[in-house]
Amino acid sequence: MHTGGTAESPAETTPPAVAEAGRRPVFALVGNPNSGKTTLFNALTGLRQKVGNYPGVTVERKEGTVSLPDTTVTLIDLPGLYSLTPHSPDERIARDVLLGYRTDVPRPQAIVNVVDASNLERNLYLTSQLLDLGLPVLVVLTMTDTAREHGVGVNAEALSEELGVPVCVTLAARRIGMESLLTALQKLPTQTLPPQRHWRLPQPLEVEAAELAGLLRREKDVPVPIAFQEALQLLSRPEVDEARWSAELRHHLHGDLQTLNQQGIDVSVAIAEARYGDIGRVVSRVLEREPEAKVTLSDRLDRVFLHKFWGYVIFLSVMYLMFQAMFTWATPAQDALEGLVNALGQWVSSAMPDGDLKDLVVNGVLGGVGNTVVFLPQILILFFFVSALEDTGYLARAAFLMDRLMSRVGLHGKSFIPLLSSYGCAIPGIMATRTIESERARLLTILVAPLMSCSARLPVYSVMIAAFIPNVMVTGFLVGNVAIGLTLPALTLFAMYAVGTAATFGMAALFNRTLLKGDAPTFLMEMPPYRLPSIRTVLYQMFERAWLFLKRAGTIILAISIVLWFLASYPKTDPTLSKAEQVRQSYAGQMGRAIEPLIAPLGFDWKIGIGLISSFAAREVFVTAMGTIYNVSEEIEDEQKEVAVGEKMKADINPRTGQPTFTPLVAVALMVYYVLAMQCMSTVAVVRRETGSWKWTLFQIAYMTALAWFTTLLVYQIGRLFGWG
C-alpha cells in the first residue's frame, strides 16, 4: 500500500466564482431518465431553446435561456443518466460537462438536479455524486403526485436538511411550484456549497483514493472535488488512456489496485455500498409510507396494455390510428397549402417577364420546393402522435411488448425506442442506440434502423397513393360525407410501414445468424408512470420538427431544385422540339437515360431515374425532382400550371409505348423501392460517425440497395404476371 495522509474532502467550502461580467450564468439540468427532466426544461425555457450536437460526437446538445427576476441564465439539458460512471457516450458527455472537461461548453456554475419522488432511493445515487462535485446544487423534486398514488410521501424540508441543499417541489406539466423554483434559481449561484460527504469508504480505499487524488491534482491542476471524482472513477473502472495519464500515475494506480485486490476489496461494490448506505439513512428520515401498498392507476392500466393478447391488439390499433390520421386528418391543410403555392406560382408567373429567371422561379423553386412543403401537415401529425405517446409513458410499454419478438431476431428490447424514433427520422433513431449497452445489439440496430419508414419517405408515399390508389372504403361507415373506418389509401400507407418493419426484423434475424452471431442481451427497462401528456411539450416538439423540415426545404431541397432545374433546362436544344423532348435531351435526361437499362425491369423510366439519382441527397427530393421535371416539360401556359405533381405523373404517356408511364403497379413498386433503399446521405454520415467504420457504412448502403432492387423487381414482375399493370 502507498503511504499517505487521510482522505481529502471532495467538497470545498465556498461557491465558485460567479460568471464573468457580461456572460450569462450557466446551470446544468441533470437527472435520471424518465424523471420529468425534459418537461421541466421545456417549462423553464419555452421556445427560448436550441438543439444541436456536441462537436465531434452525435450526442444531442440542448440548451435554453431562463428569465429570472434579476438576470437571465443559460440552462444546459444534459442527457439522462443514472450515474457519473459513464457506460455510454451520453453519460460520458454529461460527466465531462459537469467536470469542465469540454472546451466547447463552459463548466456550469451550478447544478439543477431533477429527482423523481416515486423512485427516491435510486435517484439519490446520482444526487450523492453531484453533491461531491464542488458546485451549488438545487434539488427539484418531481412526480410527487405519482409517489402519492403509490402511498409514498416525501418530506421536502427534511430532505433539504439531510442533503444540505435547497429542495423545491414542482409539477412542471401543471405549472405547480414554478414561482418558488424561479426564486431558488435566482439564489443558486451564490448559494453555500453542499456539506462534506457523510458517506465513508473502507479505510484502505479511503487512503488510496486520497493519494491518487493528490497525484491527479499535481498532474492536472484540477480542484479537489474533480480530483476525488476522477480517483474513484480510475479505481472502479481502471481503463487508463495512456495518452491522457502519465506513466507515474498509471504505475501508482496499478499498485493501488494490487493492494486493494489483496485485501479483498471490490472498489465498485465498496463505493456503491457506501453511497447507498448513506442514501438509506436519508430515505428512512424523509420518506413517509402508508401501511398498505396501493394499487395505482398505472398498475390497473398495465393489466390491459401489457396483456398477452389485448396488449398487442391495442398496440396495433394505436399504430393504425396514427397512419390513418396522417392520411385523412392532414388532407384539408394539405389542400390549403397546395392552393397557396398554386396562387403564389400564378402570381409570380404573371408578374415576371418571360425568360430563364421566371422559368427558374416558377418551375425550379416553386415547382420543386412547393411540392415538398405541402406535406408539412402529415409530418406534424406523425410527430404529434410520437411525442404524445412518449409523454404518456406508453412507449416504454410498447418496448416491453415488442421485446419478445425483438429478442427472437437478436435485437435488444431497448432497440424499440430507436426503431420507433426512426419512423420520424433515422438519424435520431440511430443516435438513440447509445442507450444500448451491448455493442453487438447496438450495431445490429444501427444496420436495420434506416429500413423503418421515416418522415422523408412520406411525401413519396403520399404523392403515389393520392394519384394512383382509389379512395374507397375497405370497411367502416359514413357519417355524412366523412368516412369512419378503414380506407384503401390509409391501408396502403399502413402496408408501406409494415413492409419496412418486416424488413427490419427480417434483416436483423439474418444478421443475427450470420455476421453478428450472439444471444439477445437481457432487457431491463424502467416503466414510467402513466400521465397526461404535456400540451406544451407536445406542441414544442411539433414546432421543432416543423422548423427543421422547413429549414431543410429552404436549404437542401431549394439548392437541389435549382440544380435540377438547370440540369433539366440545359443544354438548350432545337426550339422546334417539344418541351418533353428537350428535357429528354438535357443533362438530367442524359443521366436518367444512362441508368434506364438498370431500372427498366422495375417498371421505371428515365424520368424516375432522375428522381432516384437526385434523392440520394434526401428521399423527399424525389417529389421535388418530379415537380421540376414535369413543370419544365409542360407545354401549357405558365398561368395554367398546377403544382400538384401527382396529377401530371398520372397523365404522363410514354411516347414509345403509348401507355401511361405511371400505373398503380408502378406506383406500388416505387414505394416499395423507397421503403428499402438507403436514399439519405445525412443518415450515411451519422452511421459512419456512430460505428466509426466505413466498412459497416458501405455494407449498409450495399445491402439496402440490393434488397430494394430485388424486392421491387419481384413486386413489379409478379404484378405484371397477374395483370395488375
> What is the pLDDT at residue 1?
42
* % residues pLDDT > 90 (the chain): 15
Closest C-alpha to 610, from 676, 571, 560, 660: 560
Which of 229, 279, 10, 235 has its CA nearest to residue 127? 279
444 within a domain of the structure (yes/no): no
- Assign 222 a pLDDT band (cuts: 50, 70, 90): confident
| 332, 383, 647, 675 from 377: Cα distances, Å | 9, 10, 20, 21
Closest Cα to residue 457, out of 422, 487, 491? 422
**Which residues are CB-contacts of 46 (< 8 A; sequence separation ≥ 6)?**
64, 536, 540
First to last CA, the chain: 82
pLDDT digits (tens, 9 = 90+) for 616-626: 777 877 887 78
Average pLDDT of the chain is 79
In whole angstroms, what separates CA 716 from the centre of its chain?
34
Tens digits of per-residue pLDDT, 158-170? Answer: 999 999 999 999 9
User: Which of 425, 414, 420, 404 shows the shortest CA–CA distance to 87?
Assistant: 414
pLDDT bracket for residue 108 (50, 70, 90): very high
At 14, the amino acid letter reads T
Cα distance between residue 516 and residue 508, in whole Å: 9
> Which grid cell is 587?
443533362
Q: Which residue has the higher pLDDT, 309 or 573?
A: 309
CATH number of the CATH domain containing 58? 3.40.50.300
Q: Is residue 701 scored above 50 in pLDDT?
A: yes
HSE, CB side, 13 Å, CA atoms: give it for residue 586: 26
- Please state whether beta strands 26-31 and 110-116 pair in parallel, antiparallel, or not at all (unpaired): parallel
Report the distance separating Cα 36 and Cα 80, nearest Å. Answer: 10
| 369 part of a folded domain | no
pLDDT band, residue 592 (cuts 50/70/90): confident
Those residues with Cβ within 8 angstroms of residue 213's Cβ, 6 or more apart along the chain or in another chain: 8, 224, 227, 228, 230, 231
Counted domains in the chain: 1
632 occurs within a structural domain: no
Instruction: Give whole-number Cα distances, 568 to 8, 358, 632, in Å.
Output: 72, 15, 7
Residue 616 is which amino acid?
F
Is residue 636 pLDDT above 80, yes or no?
no
Average pLDDT over residues 360-385: 73
* Per-residue burial over 513-542, b = 16 or more CB atoms within 10 Å of its CB, e = otherwise: eeebeeebbebebeebbbbebbebbbebbb
Q: Is-above-0.85 flag for pTM? A: no
Does residue 639 form part of some domain?
no
Q: How far apart are CA 354 and CA 637, in angstroms?
A: 11
Q: What is the pLDDT of residues 261-318, one digit of tens each?
A: 888 888 888 888 888 888 888 998 998 877 665 667 777 888 888 888 888 888 888 8
Q: Which distant-in-sequence residues (6+ apart) come within 8 Å of 660 by Cβ?
A: 650, 652, 653, 654
Number of H helices, E strands in the chain: 32, 11
* Section 377-383 average pLDDT: 79
Q: How far apart are CA 437 and CA 100, in angstroms?
A: 25
pLDDT greater at residue 1 or residue 176 = 176
Q: What is the DSSP annotation of 616-670?
A: TS-TTHHHHHHHHHHHHT--S-GGG--S-HHHHHHH-B-TTTSSBS--HHHHHHH
- Give helix 156-163 / helix 267-286 axis angle, nearest 10°: 140
Instruction: Please enumerate in sequence order all residues whose Cβ is within 8 A of that of 535, keeping only pairs 6 or more positions apart, or say none.
Output: none
Question: pLDDT of 465-496, one tens digit each?
Answer: 888 888 877 776 655 555 566 778 888 888 89
What is the average per-residue pLDDT within 708-714? 95
Domain holding 49, by residue range, is 1-294
Dihedral class, residue 659 (left if φ above 0, else alpha if ψ from -120 to 50, else beta):
beta
The span from the CA of 267 to the CA of 568, in Å, is 68
Per-residue model confidence (pLDDT) at position 137: 93
Q: Which residue in the block uniquely carries the three cell numbers 434579476?
A: 70
Q: What is the DSSP letter of 677?
A: S
Taking the C-alpha atoms of residue 543 and residue 549, their distance in angstroms, rounded to an integer, is 10
- Predicted pLDDT of residue 553: 66
Helix (H, G, I), strand (E, B) or coil at 33: coil
pLDDT digits (tens, 9 = 90+) for 594-634: 988 999 999 998 888 888 888 877 787 788 778 777 776 65
Per-residue pLDDT, 665: 92
The SS3 of residue 573 is: coil
In a domain, 255, yes or no: yes
Instruction: Return d(Cα 575, Cα 612) in angstroms, integer.
Output: 28
Predicted confidence band of residue 714 (pLDDT cuts 50, 70, 90): very high
> Is 96 among the domain residues?
yes
Which residues lie across from 288 on neighbouring strands? 153
Backbone φ, ψ for residue 440 (5° rounding): -65, -45
**Helix (H) or strand (E) segment spanning residue 421:** helix 416-424
Question: 3-state SS of 514-570?
Answer: CCCCCCCCCCCCCCCCCCCCCHHHHHHHHHHHHHHHHHHHHHHHHHHHHHHHHHHHC
Report the alpha-carbon angle 131-132-138, nearest 5: 20
Whether the ω angle into residue 571 lies within 30 degrees of 0, i.e. cis, is yes
DSSP 184-243: HHHHGGGSPPPPPP-----HHHHHHHHHHHHHHHHHH---HHHHHHHHHHHHHS----TT
| pLDDT at residue 13, rounded to an integer | 40
Q: Is 140 a domain residue? A: yes
Residue 524: what pLDDT? 53
Instruction: Tell me how far apart the alpha carbons of residues 223 and 227 are, in angstroms, rounded to a whole number.
Output: 6
According to DSSP, the residues that pair with 475 across neighbouring strands are: 486
Summarised one tens digit per residue, pLDDT across range 504-543 is 989 988 988 888 776 655 555 566 777 777 787 788 778 7
**Across residues 545-571, what is the average pLDDT?**
75
Give 11-69 pLDDT, tens digit per residue. Answer: 444 444 444 434 788 999 999 887 888 888 888 887 676 665 555 554 667 888 898 88
In this prediction, residue 700 carries a pLDDT of 93
Residue 27 to residues 107, 123, 222, 385, 558: CA-CA distances in angstroms? 9, 19, 20, 31, 38
Q: pLDDT value at position 479?
A: 57
Residue 552 has pLDDT above 70, yes or no: no
Mean pLDDT over residues 205-225, rounded?
A: 83
Q: Which position has the grid cell 487521510? A: 6
Whether the pLDDT of residue 433 is over 50: the answer is yes
Asked whether residue 267 is domain-assigned, the answer is yes
**Which amino acid belongs to residue 282?**
V
Candidates 520, 300, 411; CA nearest to 420 is 411
Cα–Cα nearest to 384, from 334, 327, 322, 455: 322
